[in-house]
């Protein structure tokens, strides 16, 4: 009997910078990043093409106090540089686990990482490399959620996987309300109507317009990423 095949062949994984902190106040927790990379490596080895958009909140949080009153565009560019730092750390950790990763930046830092070029990104994915998109969209006033939606649409991802610390979208905060229940599936219109705040409005609208599904799941739950790509009931699926 042949082994079960993944239902998704190309995914866009959205990781927040905070997901890399573990229990630390800011920065990168090495044990946390190694565990996450192991999950990504597992799905990459069964042939799933994986692209990642990484946030920078874990690093920017450490300097946020000094940024009070700063020009918004300047602060956003600082945040973009933080995502590049996270992307380099993620690629390094992947290399140590035998996974080839390529970092592509939306802002030009060619001495450090290569620029984002869509055909090159597609080539890397088809070669089985993990592609890590850094620096958001390259523009201030746009979040890395929007970058995830944009890059997902550009590379033809079948789904955007929003990795969080909670295993899906709930009717209420499950940490505060033990009666809260998880939605297994929602339409975009239902999510908007219920003000669920799954992604920022720009990112959400882009996914809806491009008919690009979003699945919210827990990156801290062991094996959750594999269960998602295999089509199991994991997290919450938001679709048209």
Q: Tell me if 236 is assigned to a ligand binding site.
A: no
Cα–Cα dist 180/83, whole Å: 33
Q: Does 90 appear as a known binding residue?
A: no
Contact (Cβ atoms closer than 8 angstroms) between residue 227 and residue 234: yes
- Reduced to 3 states (helix: H, G, I; strand: E, B; else coil), residue 56 is coil
Name 162's bridge partners.
14, 216
Is 27 annotated as a binding-site member?
A: no
| 76 carries a ligand binding annotation | yes
Is residue 177 a known part of a binding site? no
Residues 144 and 136: beta-carbon distance below 8 Å: yes
Torsion of CA 32, 34, 37, 43, to 10 degrees: -100
| Residue 118 annotated as binding site | no
Consult the annotation and say whether 86 binds a ligand: no
Question: Distance of alpha carbon 202 from its chain centroid, rounded?
Answer: 16
CA distance 148 to 106: 12
* 167 assigned to a ligand binding site: no
What span, in angstroms and rounded, lies between the C-alpha atoms of 32 and 165?
A: 12
185 among annotated binding-site residues: no
Q: Does 138 appear as a known binding residue?
A: yes
Q: Known binder of ligand: residue 187? A: no
- Residues 175, 218 contacting (CB under 8 angstroms): no
- CB-based contact 5:43 (threshold 8 Å): no
- 188 known member of a binding site: no
209 is annotated as contributing to ligand binding: no
Binding residues for ATP: 14-17, 57, 61, 164, 170, 173
Binding residues for UMP: 56, 76, 137-144
Binding residues: 14-17, 56-57, 61, 76, 137-144, 164, 170, 173
């Amino acid at each position: 009997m042949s082994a079960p095949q993944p239902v998704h062949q190309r995914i866009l994984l959205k990781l927040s910078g905070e997901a890399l902190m573990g229990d630390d106040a800011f920065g990168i927790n090495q044990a946390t990043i190694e565990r996450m990379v192991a999950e990504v490596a597992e799905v990459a080895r069964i042939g799933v093409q994986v692209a990642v958009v990484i946030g920078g909140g874990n690093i920017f949080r450490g300097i946020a106090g000094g940024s009070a009153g700063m020009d918004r565009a300047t602060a956003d560019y600082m945040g973009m540089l933080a995502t590049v730092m996270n992307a380099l750390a993620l690629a390094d950790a992947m290399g140590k686990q035998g996974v080839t990763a390529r970092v592509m930046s939306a802002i030009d830092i060619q001495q450090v990482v290569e620029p984002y070029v869509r055909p090159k990104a597609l080539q890397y994915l088809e070669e089985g490399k993990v592609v890590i998109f850094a620096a958001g969209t390259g523009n201030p006033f746009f979040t890395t959620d929007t970058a995830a939606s944009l890059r997902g649409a550009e590379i033809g991802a079948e789904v955007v996987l929003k990795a969080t610390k909670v295993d899906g979208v709930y009717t209420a905060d499950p940490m505060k309300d033990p009666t809260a229940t998880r939605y297994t599936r929602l339409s975009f219109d239902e999510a908007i109507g219920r003000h669920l705040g799954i992604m920022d409005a720009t990112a959400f609208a882009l996914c809806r317009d491009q008919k690009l599904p979003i699945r919210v799941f827990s990156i801290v739950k062991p094996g959750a990423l594999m269960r998602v790509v295999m089509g199991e009931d994991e997290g919450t699926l938001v679709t048209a």
